[in-house]
Amino acid sequence: MMAVDRKLKLRATVLATAALFACGTAAAAPAGRDEGKLLKLVQQLTERLDRLEQRNAELERQVRQGQPPAELGQRLQALEQQQTRLNQGLDSDNISELEPEITARLKAVEKDTLDMKKASKKIDALDGLAVGVSLTTVIQRPSGLPRGTADGNSQLNYRADVTAELPLESIGDVEQKLFAHFRLGQGLGLNGPFSNLGAFASAPNAVAFRASGASPDDSVAILGQAWYQASIPLPFGGFKPRSRETLELTFGKMDLFGFFDQNAAAGDESRQFLNSVFVHNPMLDAGGQIGVDANGFQPGIVASYYDWSAKPETWRVSAGIFGTRRGANYQRYFSSPLFMAQLEASMKFFGGLTGNYRAYLWRNGQGLELDGSLTQQAGWGVSADQRLGDGVTVFGRYGQQTKGRVSFDRALTLGAELSGSYWDRGGDALGVAGAWLRASDDYRTAGGSGDLNGDGTGVFTFTPVGAEKVAEIYYRYRITKQFELSPDFQYIWKLGANPDARNASIVGLRAQITF
């Protein structure tokens, strides 16, 4: 009924419009015009309206019977086929030129998104990674060495160090990190000639490195350090933001001096003093008490308790067990290990200037005796550095052997580093230091020896007296933040406490690039 009503209304409207139009036209037409044309026009409009009604009735019938018009059906079929192809294309992981373009584009976008997510996850995993790279080159020329000394001419060497520190995901309140240190280099510097002359500990070039003493033509990279550390806030189960105590546990392959005998003014041969007696306590390092492997590292376990409840004044207690001699190169499992313990405090003196003070003792189950045998040795030492002004830091070390027959049983080093800010060169520094290495009674009784040629053809003996003494001065000149040059001068009295030895001087230049 509604469709019929609509038809009647539509027809009435059309006829009324036609009649009005005809009347208006007739009224406006000039006299004598044939009125038949108007009737013909009305008839044509009526016929068109009849055809529209018929078409409308047919469409209504098709819709009621579920049969869309032919053109509409073809379009629906084409859309269904297209949808089927899209679904088939999306179900496949491969991208094909035969599939619809929109499918290929969707897959390409999805692939790019997944790749970005993977890359983002890798970046997140490396978040906090700290990498350091340094290249250090040293050239030295000696004078005053005995005639005929092998390799007594100028020596050149380089060393490269790469370090990486990666924080790991925390376990509750426990923070974790991994540390790795790679090292490579060529050239042994002047250390060999001075050792041949019977020097106690005067290795004039602590930078020199050649992996395991390999061929001079080799430049082999080694993994020097690889250790894991966990920092546990104390007390256990407490509220971390209020914790002022930490227990640190570290294990792996490491440099012992990264945890013991540290010193702010004398502890980095690549930027500070070059002679090994000033880099670490001579009793431990140059004296060979720690028994590292051929590359200067060893496996170990370190436990440390750190208290900063009275910060900025803090204190720490550390203890470590390390593989030594054959245990240092993993031939044995901590057989007769090296044990070290240290108490350190950071304090404020002279109007709030920072000073670091450390006292430690050691016991080596495989200490090297004068006759070449291995037995238990022990000793103790102190290391201190103190700021005296805005740009002055003084330092001192003392070590003493309490058990074992060694070449020198006491060692004292003193020195200072001055900032270039006093002469308007804030990035520069001037360092000066002296060392005293006392010949032990056992060494004086046994007598000293050396080899001028380093091959057994120039062997000599002497009666040790007094001590070997070393002095060094350097100036670190900053060219850029990454590039520094350091002229260096060393003077050595009585090599190996030999009263007949000539004094030796060494002039050198060190260049370092860091990133």
Q: Which pLDDT does position 71 carry in this prediction?
A: 65
Q: Is the link from the previous residue into 146 a cis peptide, with omega within 30 of 0? A: no
Q: Which pLDDT does position 148 carry in this prediction?
A: 47
pLDDT tens digits, one per residue of 398-436: 999 999 999 999 999 999 999 999 999 999 999 999 999
Q: Which pLDDT does position 427 carry in this prediction?
A: 93
Q: Which pLDDT does position 199 carry in this prediction?
A: 81
pLDDT tens digits, one per residue of 454-480: 666 677 788 888 899 999 999 999 999
Distance between CA atoms of residues 89 and 107, nearest Å? 9
Name residue, tokens 């995993």: 125
pLDDT tens digits, one per residue of 322-379: 999 888 888 877 788 999 999 999 999 988 999 999 999 999 999 888 888 889 999 9
Q: Which pLDDT does position 325 carry in this prediction?
A: 87
- 258 pLDDT above the threshold of 90: yes
Q: Which pLDDT does position 332 carry in this prediction?
A: 79
H-type alpha helices, 283-394: none
Q: Which pLDDT does position 2 carry in this prediction?
A: 47
pLDDT tens digits, one per residue of 75-100: 767 777 777 776 766 667 666 666 66
- Domain ranges in the chain are 2-26+35-67, 126-514
Q: Which pLDDT does position 222 carry in this prediction?
A: 93
Q: Which two tokens stand for residue 11?
A: 């027809």
Percent of the chain at pLDDT > 70 equals: 81
pLDDT tens digits, one per residue of 210-243: 888 778 888 889 999 999 999 999 998 888 888 9
The DSSP 8-state label assigned to residue 210 in this structure reads -
Question: What is the arithmetic mean of pLDDT over 304-322?
Answer: 95
Higher pLDDT, 466 or 126: 466
3-state SS assignment for residue 368: strand
Q: Which two tokens stand for residue 500?
A: 């007949």
Strand partners, 166: 178
Q: Which pLDDT does position 35 carry in this prediction?
A: 65
Name residue, tokens 């000793």: 379
Q: Which value, in Å, is the radius of gyration of the alpha carbons in the chain?
A: 45
Q: Which two tokens stand for residue 164?
A: 């990486």
Q: Which two tokens stand for residue 327?
A: 């245990």
Q: Identify the CA nearest to 491 among candidates 139, 144, 138, 137.
A: 144
pLDDT tens digits, one per residue of 17-61: 555 555 555 445 454 456 677 677 767 767 777 777 787 777 777
For 371-411, the DSSP string reads TS-EEEEEEEEEEEEEE-SSSEEEEEEEEEEEES--SEEEE
- 65 pLDDT above the threshold of 70: no
Q: Which pLDDT does position 94 carry in this prediction?
A: 67
Q: Which pLDDT does position 309 carry in this prediction?
A: 92
Q: Which two tokens stand for residue 357?
A: 């003070």
Q: Which two tokens stand for residue 190?
A: 């002047």
Q: Which pLDDT does position 33 carry in this prediction?
A: 56
- Binned at pLDDT 50, 70 and 90, residue 6 comes out as low
Q: Which pLDDT does position 31 carry in this prediction?
A: 46
Percent of the chain at pLDDT > 90 equals: 49
Q: Which two tokens stand for residue 416?
A: 């200072």
Its pTM stands at: 0.75
List of residues 6+ apart from 173 with CB closer than 8 A: 232, 233, 240, 243
Residues in the chain: 515
The DSSP 8-state label assigned to residue 190 in this structure reads T
- 126-514 in CATH: which number? 2.40.160.10
Q: Which pLDDT does position 121 carry in this prediction?
A: 60
pLDDT tens digits, one per residue of 149-174: 555 578 899 999 999 999 999 999 99
Backbone dihedral region of 104: left (phi > 0), alpha (psi from -120 to 50 degrees) or beta? alpha
Higher pLDDT, 496 or 303: 303
